[in-house]
Chain A
Amino acid sequence: MAGPKVATITIAFDGTEYTVSAGRTILVALEEAGLRFVRGVGCRGGVCGACTVLYRMRDAHPLVAGLMCQDEAKHGMEILSLPYIPQKKAVHRMELPPENSPEYQVLSLYPEVNNCVMCGECSRLCPVGIDVMGYVGMIKRGDLRSAAQQSFTCVQCQACVLRCPSSISQPNAALAARRFHGRYREAPAEHLAKALEKVESGHYRSLFRKVRRLSGVEFQALYQRREREPDDAPPGTWLPEDRSLI
């Protein structure tokens, strides 16, 4: 294909060197070089954690974790693919044993968070910029709300697990923290409970029958007549003029 000439760089993947176009993600650069992935590629959008890699720049000492679909290939990268990282997963349901608080339950499922030596390696490695060590501390202190917020964008790539000297499975502990927080510490949605009651009482059955009996023309006219709720009305306050469908 004719076009402006693209600069090339050299990267090494699993020990083999490839000359690739500059300005590509690691994934696209390797695919263009002829590699075809089965393992180690997932969403290609930075949210699934399938394409986790460790890499080092030649001439530099730190080992860095990245996602192949997100990180740009740079000259001199030496890349190790990590499509699967075995680690601890506590199997549990959401019911609490008697007298266990949600905070204590998370700690009972993942007691090894208490062994954190605060080396900070997990936070340094995280390819999506989460302060992993920070949320481990929050779980230790029983602050599930903060832990849930801090870990919220975790893509479960498990890179943090790799270099933890205390063998903590941080992403799984965070998952438990978020779920127990969501179930027990977030206020339940009362309006949802009411809406559910109304549906289950059969309230809408006759209304559906009525609407579904309309002719095509009548139904489309009803659609065109819809009132649009204002974007910024205070929650739960606005009501339409025509309330025949609610």
Chain B
Amino acid sequence: MEGLNHFPEALRESARLVVKTRESRLTALRRGESYPSLSLSDRRAWLEEFHPDYRADSCRPLTLGPNQGDLVPCELADLLESWPRHAVSRHFALSRRSHSAAEGDPSALAPFSKQVKADLHTDVLVIGGGGAGTTAAIAAAEAGAKVLIVTKLRHGDSNTIMAEGGMQVADQEADSPVQHYLDTMGGGHFINDPDLVESLVSDGPRVLRWLEELGMLFDKYPTGRMKVRHGGGTSRRRLHASGDVTGLELMRVLRDHAESFANIRVLPFHPAVELLTDDNGRAVGAVLEHLVAGDRLPTIQVVHARAVVLATGGFGRLHFKKFPTSNHYGALADGLVLAYRAGVPLRDLRYCQYHPTGIVYPDRKIGLLLTEKFRGWGAQLLNYHGEEFVFGLEPRDVTSAAIIRECTEMGNGITTPSGRVGVWLDIPLIDLLHGRGTIEREFPGRFREFIGKGIDLRVAPVLTYPTLHYQNGGIAIQSDGGTDMPGLYAAGEVTGGVHGDNRLMGNALLEILVFGLRAGRSAARFAQNNGEGSNPGVSHLESFMEALHEKAAGQHRTSPRLLPSYGKSGLPA
């Protein structure tokens, strides 16, 4: 059949069934019929049975620190209960010996109280150069602060740049921030922090206006009205997009704007590996590791700052339960490790977000996304027989659970030659529903990418399966971006509370802007009102390492891990 020739025989038979049922599905859609959505109790039942993180063996309780006893994914728990990196231990002469055992030996305690000389000074230190960090830097710089952005890779290398589908803002006549609040709380299973959600939705129109003034391009009608679509779990159409490269367009503009500030400096390839605290338990800087220093430059750099913003993003590259991920190379939970060691509490980390439609075939695109915007425009999820099995715009966790259910319990998945299983995303339906040229116009990034590899999205469905996508929880923050530690602010994916247990599509790009601006402003204010810290150092590691010695003495893991190691094992099978 035309357009399906790139599929191996194992997939082609089922792809033909998709084509066969398309006409009747189209007719039903035109009559306004859609697959029924689940009740709250049915949602709960499907999640508990099929969502990967509702299984008991996926998590374990933390054995130390402010969240002791809380369940988090096992791989994350291991990372949070690891020793500082070797370069840090060497630089600060940290000893893994228990201090209780070393009582009477004052030299064992000495390193922690050692004053640390600074290589760099700044007012506001922003850790992370993605969307949240860059926004925070802009806000702090506008408030007059001297800002240093330190980032593990290059400025802009982040999950932000990979966001495809869009950003939720309540700006239409039928909509309101209160309606947006309701959708967001329900999507997060009602455990979100209400103050944070109210801030998120209320600042929406203001940040969208700001982006318009910065010259960011949005999908618009000629009148200037924004084109909006539904996302999973929304009751109003409020998803604003820039084609299917919304994050790329956002990051290009934010980075360009940040570069116009003389008081913002960027230090790439310098990830933060520990926070610095002072005698009063305030965050006063960070320890950086220079990833490409070579032999003649110091690996460790110490930054003294009057306020710190953590914006290190998420953790997809930890590949929980060997799931593939849609995340960028550096998404390894660095910020969670730094904060937790310093005694800053985290929240809502048990349930990760699996994006329902990660690519399964072709193999070399495994784990990458097909944006939810495809479903917003009418693309359906179909099983082996070309039949629908779930309303495609349930909240993400529910849709993912439904796909896993269809492939396991129902046995209606499609298996690829390399042994992976998935369901179809019937993209060609979009052109039939909205007219020829819609796919090309609305999804220019994916369309060009696929056609370049011989796959025509206008005629061929794509095989998909849930992929590890987003860190729902993280560092607990308040509405001003502040954390439990004075001088420490946080914004973006590294934080928790905004999304509860499950983020809605389009709320992440909104979050990095709203809380990036809030955290940056607050940090600049804090820096103005407070002088240099007294005795900056890593004394907070003392109690952490003592607890670690007691609870997990036998293991030798170090963290943060900074980058994944793919070597011979390759991506998870």
Q: B-facing mask of A217-228, CB < 8 A → 1, else 0?
A: 001101110111
Output the least CB separation between B426 and chain A (Å): 16
Q: Is the CB of B260 within 8 A of A93?
A: yes
- How distant is the Cα of A175 from the Cα of B169 in the complex, in angstroms? 25
A208-244 residues with Cβ-Cβ distance < 8 A to B are 208, 211-212, 216, 219-220, 222-224, 226-231, 235-236, 238-240
Nearest A-chain residue to B571, judged by Cβ:
A28
Q: Is the CB of B209 within 8 A of A193?
A: yes
Q: A204-B177, A212-B194 are in contact. Are A91 and B215 (CB under 8 A)?
A: no
Chain B: interface size category: 35 or more
- How distant is the Cα of A89 from the Cα of B235 in the complex, in angstroms? 43
Number of interface residues of A (CB under 8 A): 79
A39 at the interface (CB under 8 A from B): yes
Q: B-facing mask of A6-41, CB < 8 A → 1, else 0?
A: 000000000000000001110010011010111101
With a CB–CB cut-off of 8 A, which chain B residues contact A91?
259-260
Q: A153-B245, A191-B172, A192-B171 are in contact. Are A223 and B185 (CB under 8 A)?
A: yes
With a CB–CB cut-off of 8 A, which chain B residues contact A187?
220, 222-224
B459 at the interface (CB under 8 A from A): no
Q: Is the CB of B452 within 8 A of A129?
A: yes
Q: Is the CB of A183 within 8 A of B213?
A: yes
Q: Is the CB of B378 within 8 A of A199?
A: no
Q: Is the CB of A32 within 8 A of B177?
A: no
Nearest B-chain residue to A182, judged by Cβ:
B215
Inter-chain CB contacts under 8 Å: number: 237
Q: Is the CB of A31 within 8 A of B567?
A: yes
B227 at the interface (CB under 8 A from A): yes
Nearest B-chain residue to A177, judged by Cβ:
B215
B156 at the interface (CB under 8 A from A): yes
Q: Is the CB of B224 within 8 A of A32?
A: no
Q: Is the CB of A195 within 8 A of B235?
A: no
Given A204-B178, A212-B198, A223-B182, 7 more pairs with CB closer than 8 A: A38-B563, A41-B153, A184-B215, A204-B202, A223-B190, A239-B174, A245-B178
B interface residues (Cβ-Cβ under 8 A, vs A): 32, 39-40, 153-154, 156-157, 161-162, 169-179, 181-183, 185-186, 190, 194, 198, 202, 205-206, 208-209, 212-218, 220-230, 235-237, 242-243, 245, 247-249, 252-253, 256, 259-260, 269, 291-292, 326, 328-329, 363-364, 368-369, 376, 378, 444-445, 448-449, 452, 563, 565-568, 570-571, 573
A interface residues (Cβ-Cβ under 8 A, vs B): 1, 23-25, 28, 31-32, 34, 36-39, 41-48, 50, 70, 72, 89, 91-94, 128-129, 148, 152-153, 155-156, 175, 178-184, 186-193, 195-196, 199-200, 204, 207-208, 211-212, 216, 219-220, 222-224, 226-231, 235-236, 238-240, 245-246
